[in-house]
Amino acid sequence: MQGRKNASRKNHLTTMAPAAVLAASAAPAGRTLELINGDRLLVRTGPTGRPLVSVRSAAGYLASLVTITTCGVISDAPLAAMPYLGQGLDPTLFRLSDLQRAERDGRLPVSISYLGRLRAIPGITVTRAGRGLAAGYLTARSARLFGAALDRQFRADHASGSYGARGLFADGLSIALAGSARLPAAHADRHRRRAERKARQRRQRARLQRG
C-alpha cells in the first residue's frame, strides 16, 4: 500500500479540456512549441513559477491533451499519441523542458530507430540514416502530415484493439526527440531481441531436420 501511495505522488495525469484551453489562451503570449502531430503549445510561466500551457490543434480549433507530471517533469501529449508512448513515440517528444531546448528555427529534430530498411514516414524529412538509426526533422507544416497519419493509425488500432504492432510503427519503428539518450539503448534492446528470436528459430529448424 505504501508503494502505491508513493507512486501516485510521482505521477499525475490531467486531461486539459477545451474550456480550460480557452481560458488559458486569453493570457499574455509566451513561447510556442510544435508537437510532432502538428498541435501547437503556448507555454507561459504562471504566478507560482510553474508553466501554464494552452493548445491549438493542427486543424486550427481548440484541442485536448493529456498532461503528465512525473517527478516534477511535465509532459503534454495529444490523446491519439497516448497508446504509443514507449512503443513508437518516445516520451521526450512531449516533455516541455526538452522541447524548449531542442526546437530551433521552426524545426522539431527527431531521432528514428528501425529494423531492416527505413520506410518513408509521413511528415519527417530524413537527413541521414544507416545501421538502424536515422536523424530528421519536422516543420509546422509537415507535422500536420504526421498528425493525420497518427490519427488514422489510432482509429485503426482502436478498432482492432491492438496498438503499435502494424502500420506507422511496424517493424520496430520508434521516434524520439533528437539528443535523447534513451533511443540508442532501446534500439540495441530491439536488435538483441530480434537476434534472440532468430536464434530460437534456427534451433527449432535444426530440431525438425534431425526429427
Q: Cβ(189)–Cβ(174) under 8 Å?
A: no
pLDDT higher for 1 or 163? 163
Cα separation, 211 vs 43, whole angstroms? 65
Asked if residue 129 has pLDDT above 70, the reply is: yes
Q: Which residue has the higher pLDDT, 202 or 89?
A: 89
- The tens digit of pLDDT for each residue in 142-185 reads 999 999 999 999 999 999 988 887 899 988 899 999 987 555 45
Predicted confidence at residue 21, as pLDDT, reads 43
Higher pLDDT, 114 or 24: 114
Residues linked to residue 70 through DSSP beta bridges, in sequence order: 11, 73
Strand partners of residue 34: 40
**Mean pLDDT along residues 88-102:** 91
Q: What is the pLDDT of residues 2-58, one digit of tens each?
A: 444 443 334 555 444 443 443 333 444 578 889 999 998 888 887 887 777 777 776
pTM exceeding the 0.85 threshold for the entire prediction: no
pLDDT at 2: 44
Cα 149 to Cα 4, 12, 24, 89: the distances in Å are 37, 28, 28, 13
For residues 166 and 61, which has the higher predicted lDDT (pLDDT)? 166
Average pLDDT, the chain: 78
pLDDT value for 142: 96
- 194: pLDDT strictly greater than 70: no
* Reported confidence tier of residue 195, pLDDT bands at 50, 70, 90: low
